[in-house]
């Protein structure tokens, strides 16, 4: 668990876009049981004055890989440039180098070229497998079978550049210090930037200034609202598998809405 969090913090830190606590080391617990992630101390308080700044910095995080690719491509076409080693390579696939955890459940992040396949196979399907093992909920399984056929239509004519995501950016995983926003407890991977906004709008969410600043850099694309529902489905299923069937209704409601 902590290896994934350390890798996530390190990846975000390297972008120099939004502040995260600097990870130091993962220590194993006595006798090999459990462990702890050692990070720098950050004197944080609840997000208040810097919500708009967080929106702008989150957009910068999501655009970082795209801008890196554009810069490397430009340098490669310039005489006398592009032959040296680059500190950070452009990432052209969806996934992550290590397993991460959203809550306590592990997320496999095997690299894939196709975002729709990655999301269906490595985010929703594992959650549905746990639902099937836990309760065998026939209605949920039938709705998921129907929804899988509809998902590609939600991404028609979209060119999605992999974006480094925090992966679990709800209100409880953000704060601020005297200089600006701080985000923590990530479950990072390279995915669709819109995915990040799913849980950001759940469980309290963020204010208008956050979204205004974010979308001034990354405008909503056609079909945004339906894709947001699709991405919220993962989090409702994840909560169902963490905390029980209280989240069943929300999960089924989304699948019914998207299969109409």
Say if CB 129 and CB 226 are below 8 A apart.
no
**Closest by Cα among 127, 148, 135, 133 to 251:** 127
Please state, in angstroms and rounded to a whole number, the distance separating the CA atoms of residues 108 and 16.
Answer: 26
* Contact between residue 96 and residue 188 where contact means Cβ atoms under 8 Å apart: yes
Q: CB burial class (10 A; 0-12, 13-18, 19+) of residue 54?
A: buried
The set of residues, in sequence order, having a beta carbon less than 8 Å from that of 100 and lying 6+ positions away, is: 4, 5, 7, 8, 106, 107, 109, 167, 186, 187, 188, 189
Active site residues: 168
Annotate 193-217 with b (16+ C-beta within 10 A) or e (fewer): bbbbbbbbbeeeebeeebbebbeee
Cβ density class 18-32: b for 16+ within 10 Å, e for less = bbbbebeebeeeeee
Task: Identify whether the C-beta of residue 85 lies closer than 8 Å to the C-beta of residue 155.
Answer: no
């Amino acid at each position: 668990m902590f290896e994934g969090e350390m890798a996530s913090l390190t990846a975000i830190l390297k972008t120099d876009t939004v502040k995260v606590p600097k990870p130091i080391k993962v220590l194993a617990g006595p006798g090999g049981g459990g462990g702890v992630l050692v990070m720098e101390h950050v004197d944080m308080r609840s997000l208040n004055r810097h919500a708009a700044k967080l929106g702008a910095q989150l957009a910068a995080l999501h655009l970082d890989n795209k801008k890196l690719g554009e810069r490397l491509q430009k340098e490669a076409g310039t005489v006398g440039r592009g032959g040296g080693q680059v500190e950070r390579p452009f990432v052209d696939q969806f996934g992550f180098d290590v397993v991460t955890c959203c809550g306590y459940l592990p997320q496999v992040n095997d690299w894939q070229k196709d975002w729709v396949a990655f999301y269906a196979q490595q985010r929703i399907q594992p959650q549905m497998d746990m639902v099937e093992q836990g309760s065998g909920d026939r209605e949920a399984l039938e709705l998921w079978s129907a929804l899988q056929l509809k998902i590609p239509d939600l991404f028609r004519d979209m060119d999605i550049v992999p974006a480094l995501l925090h992966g679990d950016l709800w209100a409880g995983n953000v704060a601020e210090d005297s200089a600006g926003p701080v985000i923590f407890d990530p479950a990072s991977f390279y995915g669709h930037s819109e995915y990040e906004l799913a849980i950001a709008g759940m469980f309290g969410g963020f204010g208008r200034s956050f979204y205004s600043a974010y979308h001034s850099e990354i405008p909503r694309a056609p079909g945004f609202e339906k894709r947001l529902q699709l991405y919220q489905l993962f989090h409702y299923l994840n909560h169902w598998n963490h905390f029980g069937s209280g989240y069943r209704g929300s999960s089924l409601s989304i699948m019914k809405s998207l299969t109409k």
